[in-house]
Amino acid sequence: MDELAQAMKAMPALEGELVRKMMADGRVVEVPAGTELLHEGAYVHELPILLEGLVRVFIGHEDKELLLYFIEPSDSCVMSFAAMTGRTPSRINAVAERPSKLLMVPEAKLRQWMREHPSLSELFFQQYHERYNDMLHTVEQVAFGDLPTRLMDHLKRLKGVTGDELLDVRHARLAQELGSAREVITRTLRKLEDEGRIRQLPGGIRVLG
């Protein structure tokens, strides 16, 4: 599949004419897993739209993180959109979880296309709604959820976005993403396994229910 066809498949809500303009005036970049795409304090001059792969968006403090949401193909980062259109520093970090292909759209063209193509504005309003719900869920989990519930919810979320039946994720990584200690995560995973909700295997964690 060529890049234009891939872009049209990734953005079915946009008319073909607009996708062609985005491909002509934007640039496609491919990055390996682990690539930092954006960090707190940076200014955004191009809006990334994910064509292929998976991106994790989070805020961080020292060695702890708080996952905000994942970006999947056809999605853009609304926090990057807000920083770019407001011309303010980014408040988030974004890292490629898997090898990813992104369409980078320049700010000036994006502003022009949003005036000319209502479908683009509608797409961003929809994504604002989805990401708002994601972040509200995260806040509720942190404020009111116990750690076993938060950890189980996080594992289900990982399974949903990756499509993997066996999650290759380390205890230290889970602790970092949930703002906890590795020893606490290890004990909590053991408790969830005793309850029959997960199974820990040499290759990773299997979510059972």
pLDDT at 97: 92
- In this structure, CATH architecture of domain 145-207: Orthogonal Bundle (1.10)
pLDDT tens-digit readout, 8-47? 887 888 888 999 999 999 999 999 999 999 999 999 999 8
**What beta strand segments (E) does 72-139 contain?**
93-96, 100-106
The pLDDT assigned to 78 comes to 79
* Per-residue confidence (pLDDT) for residue 140, from 0 to 100: 84
Q: 3-118+131-139 and 145-207 share one CATH topology?
A: no
Query: Would you kindly state where each structural domain of the chain is located, as residue ranges?
Result: 3-118+131-139, 145-207
More confident call, 141 vs 199:
199
- pLDDT tens column, 172-192: 989 988 888 899 999 999 999
Over 80: is that where the pLDDT of 1 sits?
A: no
State CA 88 to chain mean position distance.
20
Question: CA angle at residue 56 from 54 to 61, to 5 degrees?
Answer: 165
| Domain 3-118+131-139 homologous superfamily, CATH | Jelly Rolls (2.60.120.10)
The predicted structure's pLDDT at residue 138: 82
Question: How, if at all, do strands 27-31 and 100-106 pair?
Answer: antiparallel
Q: Report the predicted TM-score, pTM, of the whole model to 2 decimal places.
A: 0.82
Please give the Cα distance from 52 to 118 (Å, whole number).
Answer: 24
Mean pLDDT for the stretch of residues 192-206? 95
How high is the pLDDT of residue 12? 83
pLDDT for 145 equals 79
Q: What is the pLDDT of residue 8?
A: 85
**Residue-level pLDDT at 73:** 84
Per-residue pLDDT tens digits for 49-105? 899 999 999 988 777 788 888 888 877 777 888 888 888 999 999 999 999 999 999
Nearest 10 degrees: Cα torsion 90, 23, 160, 67? -10
Supply the pLDDT for residue 83.
87
Instruction: Flag whether pLDDT at 201 surpasses 90.
Output: yes
pLDDT-derived band at 109, boundaries 50, 70, 90: very high
Q: pLDDT at position 102, please?
A: 93
Which residue's structure tokens are 């992104």? 102
For residue 6, what pLDDT is reported? 83
